[in-house]
């Protein structure tokens, strides 16, 4: 049993996540400091923390309602409820997430809110596409996001990214207005202007990187919770085939997405499956979640 690989991946995921979050916080503080000094740093940190707390109290149905989601009870989807309860116990959650049904043919399963007040919404298209084992694997992935507080982590970086963009914009506008002051030192002006210009995209790239890291971590924990990485592997393979539109299949059978990996919120399906396949021979009864 190559237990070391599981621990190595977990430590790597945690370390990578911490570096990104700290890097985002440093960029936010730097942007504020360059404009308002230490007062600006304290002010944006106050706004950042206050916004995070405000967003965290949203109820799960706020986002689900955008998809016309309907909260379901045990008698409507008993099998799904049993799967969620089983995985929630394995993940040591205090309470299982609420379940919502999305009346759409789109392939959607999403998780909302925080660990203490979470919800999982699954679409009719997803229920029709996947069999029980595959749904079990995808549910384990979503419950892993809840267990790891990934939603909170993404909210933290998303809010920071927006604040960096706002502060950097103010910095650029202030420099243009005060251009006469910088006429004697245009080199410094352009250096500072470029710093403000590149801060937002750098922060956005860090945010996307964190999203990909948390996806890998949820994949790993899904394999541990279910005891079989093949459940999620098969689900990912099916979903990936559906994501390529029928039009592209008809007119361009060799079509592949051209979006650079740095700009994706999720790792490529091929990379996710490759990492999961490395776990196929493991004894997950000994794994620690």
**Confidence grade of residue 247 (pLDDT, cut at 50, 70, 90):** very low
Structural domain boundaries, residue 151: 3-286
Look at the alpha carbons of 132, 138, 143, 147 in this order and tell me if their dihedral is positive or negative.
positive
What is the DSSP code string of 155-195?
HHHHHHHHHHHHHHHHHHHHHHHTGGGGGGGHHHHHHHHHH
Q: What is the dihedral of CA 113, 165, 51, 61, to 10 degrees?
A: -30
Query: What average pLDDT does this structure show over 36-47?
Result: 92
pLDDT tens-digit map of 95-134: 899 899 999 888 888 888 676 778 899 999 999 999 999 9
The answer to whether 234 touches 102, Cβ cutoff 8 Å, is no
**Confidence grade of residue 39 (pLDDT, cut at 50, 70, 90):** very high
- Give how far Cα 104 sits from Cα of 12, 64, 78, 101, 216, Å: 37, 12, 20, 9, 27
**pLDDT score at 12:** 79
Question: What's the full length of the chain, in residues?
Answer: 289
**pLDDT score at 215:** 92
Quick one: how far is CA 44 from the chain centroid? 23
Distance CA 95, CA 34 (A): 45
pLDDT tens-digit map of 164-215: 999 999 999 988 888 887 777 888 888 888 999 999 999 999 988 888 989 9
Contacts of residue 19, Cβ cutoff 8 Å, sequence gap at least 6: none
Which strands form 109-112's sheet, in the order they lie side by side?
70-71, 98-102, 119-123, 109-112
The number of domains in the chain is 1
């Amino acid at each position: 049993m190559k237990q070391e690989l599981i621990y190595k991946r977990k430590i790597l995921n945690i370390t990578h996540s911490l570096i990104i979050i700290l890097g985002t916080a440093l960029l936010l503080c730097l942007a504020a400091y360059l404009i308002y000094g230490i007062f600006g740093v304290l002010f944006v940190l106050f706004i950042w923390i206050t916004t995070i707390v405000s967003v965290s109290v949203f109820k799960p149905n706020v986002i689900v309602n955008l998809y016309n989601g309907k909260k379901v009870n045990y008698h409507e989807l008993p099998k799904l409820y049993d799967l969620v309860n089983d995985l929630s116990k394995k993940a040591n959650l205090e309470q299982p997430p609420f379940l919502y049904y999305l009346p759409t043919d789109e392939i959607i399963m999403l998780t909302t809110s925080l660990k203490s007040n979470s919800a999982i919404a699954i679409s009719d298209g997803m229920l029709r596409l996947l069999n029980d084992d595959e749904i079990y694997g995808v549910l384990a992935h979503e419950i892993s996001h809840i267990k790891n507080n990934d939603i909170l982590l993404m909210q933290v970086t998303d809010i920071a990214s927006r604040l960096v963009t706002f502060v950097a914009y103010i910095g650029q506008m202030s420099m243009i207005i005060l251009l006469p002051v910088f006429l004697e030192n245009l080199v410094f002006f352009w250096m500072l202007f470029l710093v403000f210009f590149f801060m937002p995209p750098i922060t956005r790239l860090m945010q996307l990187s964190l999203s990909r890291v948390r996806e890998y971590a949820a994949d790993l924990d899904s394999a541990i919770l279910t005891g079989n990485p093949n459940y999620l592997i098969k689900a990912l393979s099916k979903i990936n085939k559906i994501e390529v539109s029928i039009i592209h299949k008809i007119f361009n059978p060799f079509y592949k997405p051209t979006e650079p990996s740095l700009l994706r919120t999720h790792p490529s399906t091929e990379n996710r499956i490759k990492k999961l396949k490395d776990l196929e021979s493991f004894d997950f009864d000994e794994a620690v979640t």
